[in-house]
Amino acid sequence: MRMFCGGEWVDRDEVLQVTNPYQGDVIDTVPVGTPGDVDTAIGVLQSGSKQMAKLSAFERAQILDRATVLSRERAEEIAKIISAEEGKILAEARIEAQRGADVLEISAEEARRLTGEMIPLDSVPAGAGKIGFTLRVPCGIVAAITPFNFPFNLVTHKVGPAIAGGNAVLIKPASETPLSALLLVEILLEAGMPPNAIACLTGSGRTLGKAICEDPRVRKISFTGSFEVGEQICRMAGMKRVTMELGSNSPVILMDDADLDLAAQAIAIAGYANAGQVCISAQRILTNSKISADFLDALRPRVAALTTGDQFDPATKVGPMVREGDAARVEQWVNDAVASGAKIVTGGQRSGSIYQPTILDNVSPGQRVSCDELFGPAVAITRFDNIHEAIKLANATTYGLSAGIFTRDIERAMTFAREVNSGNIHINWSSQWRADFMPYGGLNHSGMGKEGPKYALREMTEEKMVVMHLRGTEA
């Protein structure tokens, strides 16, 4: 596929191969963009941002409404591209394609609802005869830097609100998964998006990202990825507005009154969906010592039944990781944990980019598989004796994106909700659950700002305060 730069589809002499993570075969190629392409794209987007700012809320919503319809019409095509380039099983890719269309639809609705507020200036003596209200106006150019693990849905989470707010958008998709984003650009152009108001540049994240983040013409950056890269972006961005959706190593607490079947069901999904390559994947399973053996008995058969293989095979429940090197990293971390005293309950083997769904028991909180972001299909079980110890373990991390607890005790549940340092809190479910319209974001090294179209839209618009100084009228 070609990339979209300067209002047109372009090729370049140097190309990047996009490969199927399971088979290793080349699916397609994309151009390797350069800093010069960034300069060209942003120059054209400047004029596009002015055009977008003049569109009414109705016109912006219409673009997104048409894109929603087109996305749903092409849902199977989108799903197959997601699955081919990322390795996600086709059943999960179909869900992602549907969710992406939903995000566009929600963004259209939010475009119609974008308002300011009245400020009661006359509530103070100096405000007599004055009326105050706020206006929300577009940022201008929004840079959307997106990860590989949800290559369609997470792009819509940035692009949809940006368009709803009247901005131009520059997309930089992950190098491993650029095809889904390019397909979204096709859909948006067909839906009526001005060609000079959108760009999608492919190639090296390090090279293009630096040029994008340092360019003063970009006003807003929305990034999803690792803490390390996010921190670098913030240093380069300077005074730009930023939203950072970063990493995690999500804890899930099982109290001694937990519904163990429900917990096992939830964790068998949350620990292994998309081969564990989910920011809010359940990673640290903190289990009360009294019920740990019973919980393992409930979880083990569910995880052992998760078949691996070709992501297009309907029998496959866990596909390949996006890169063989990532599977090798997970293998190394698990082996290091075993060498330090942890025990493999099931799984623990690797074949190429496939890593078997794994349960690790007796994991010390200091082991890397517990204290860093694993981002792979394994969960680490650590025992505790009471709620206070569990919360201390849950908070023993620099991250804070999502956390869950299983308990029938409302006091324990509310203690957890108040005291665990996490942006998303789940009671009687695992860490991995998200509705696309809810506020979503992390604390500490898990980032800043919120996604969800309503909340992202506020971060992709600027607020102006308007004060009308009215003269009094004589009787």
Give the active site residues.
Answer: 245, 279
Q: Rounded to an integer, what is the distance from CA 204 to the centroid of its chain?
A: 20
Asked if residues 417 and 425 have their Cβ atoms less than 8 Å apart, the reply is yes
CA distance 376 to 144: 25
CB proximity list for 126: less than 8 A, separation 6 or greater: none
Asked if residues 449 and 244 have their Cβ atoms less than 8 Å apart, the reply is yes
In this structure, what token pair is assigned to residue 333?
Answer: 């971390």
CA distance 63 to 55: 10
Residue whose C-alpha is closest to residue 88's, from 366, 315, 277 = 277
Query: What's the DSSP call for residue 225?
Result: S
- Beta strands 241-245 and 220-224 are parallel
Residue whose C-alpha is closest to residue 351's, from 380, 318, 314 = 318
CA distance 402 to 432: 7
Q: ∠213-247-211 over CA atoms, to 5°? A: 10
DSSP string, 2-55: -EEETTEEE--SSEEEEE-TTT--EEEEEE---HHHHHHHHHHHHHHHHHHHHS
CA distance 249 to 375: 8
CA distance 442 to 424: 7
Helices and strands (H and E) in the chain: how many = 15, 22
Asked if residues 420 and 388 have their Cβ atoms less than 8 Å apart, the reply is no
Tokens 């390390």 locate to 228
In this structure, what token pair is assigned to residue 242?
Answer: 């930023």
Task: Identify the helix (H) or strand (E) that includes residue 113.
Answer: helix 90-113
Residue whose C-alpha is closest to residue 99's, from 437, 325, 413 = 437
In this structure, what token pair is assigned to residue 92?
Answer: 């999960």
Overall size of the chain counted in residues: 475
Report the SS3 class of residue 414: helix
